[in-house]
Amino acid sequence: MILIYGDAEQWDAMTEEQWQAHNAGHAAFVAKAGIRFLDGQQLETAPTATSLRADAAGRIHITDGPFLETKEGLGGYYLLEAADLDEVLELAKLLPELNYTHSGVEIRPVVEHG
């Protein structure tokens, strides 16, 4: 899974032309991934998140926003089926987030149960 992080304020400041170029980059990524592409979605910004956490007594607390106070929030993901990390790295290098200093991507294997 490729997790995409970025600064929502920076995304909000992008012009329509910048967004068109950015979206074209994602379309190129999906096209290159081909049948390896299983799923991918853009997420709403971190302030729209709702978080649940249990305390020591086992009570569940619900709060607005993400767990961590951070400038970069999770903005989206891609789920790919690939032979190995090298294959995913080559695809991930195409993501437009790597053109900005306020964003980046993280790659994690998905745990398969059963």
**Between the CA of residue 34 and those of 37, 83, 87, 90, what are the distances in Å?**
6, 14, 12, 13
What's the pLDDT tens digit per position in 61-92?
A: 888 876 666 667 889 999 999 999 999 999 99
pTM of the model: 0.84
Q: How many domains does the chain have?
A: 1
pLDDT category at 112 given cuts 50, 70, 90 is confident
Q: Residue 40 belongs to a domain with what CATH number?
A: 3.30.70.1060
Residues 77 and 40: beta-carbon distance below 8 Å:
yes
> Domain range for residue 25?
2-107
